[in-house]
Amino acid sequence: MKANESPALQGRVVEDEVQLTLLELCQASGAPRERIMTWVSEGMLEPVGDRPPDWRFTGVSLRRTRLACRLEQDLELNPPGVALALDLMDEIMALRAELRRSGFR
């Protein structure tokens, strides 16, 4: 199929411009609601708002949630295992960024 002649699609940058409700995060990540609630209670996702209907997740949560889903399914990890893996991966990313700043690729 060829690209339409219509003007280019305009997207929104999720991380900068979008906040997600619990329902939207479920839909966008494919994760079941109960699973996201577990991950919130593990401190792995930190929405603002007191009760689940008021929760608002930052756009960054989407990437984290999708990564968590893949790790859980593919490596058969339990919630604390997923949380540990994500923390360690954050640390590796920070160390790699530090290396890049110092001139290593």
Partner 1 sequence: MKYKDYYEILGVPRTATEAEIKGAYRKLARKYHPDVSKESDAEARFKEIGEAYQVLKEPDKRAAYDNMGTQWQGGQDFQPPPNWDAGFEFNGRGGNAGDFSDFFESMFGAQAGGARGRSRRPMHAQGEDHHAKVMIDLEDAYRGASRNVTLRMPMTDASGRVTTQERTLSVNIPKGVREGQHLRLSGQGSPGVGQGQPGDLYLEIAFRPHRLFRVDERDVYVDVPLAPWEAALGATVDVPTPDGSVQLTIPPNTSAGRKLRLKGKGLPSNPAGDLYVVVGIALPPADTPEAREAYAAMQLAFHFNPRAGF
**Residue 48 contacts partner 1 per CB under 8 A:** no
The two tokens of residue 6 are: 């219509």
**Residue 34 contacts partner 1 per CB under 8 A:** no
| Minimum distance of partner 1 from residue 71's CB (angstroms) | 7
Contact flags string 49-78 toward partner 1, x per CB under 8 A: ----------x--xx--xx--xx-xxxx--
Provide the Cα torsion 48, 58, 82, 80; round to 10°: -10
Specify burial of residue 71 (Cβ count, 10 A radius: 0-12, 13-18, 19+). Answer: middle
Whether residue 47 contacts residue 40, with contact meaning beta carbons closer than 8 Å, is answered with yes
Site residues for partner 1 per CB under 8 A: 1-4, 6-16, 18, 27-28, 30, 59, 62-63, 66-67, 70-71, 73-76, 85, 89, 97, 100-101, 103, 105
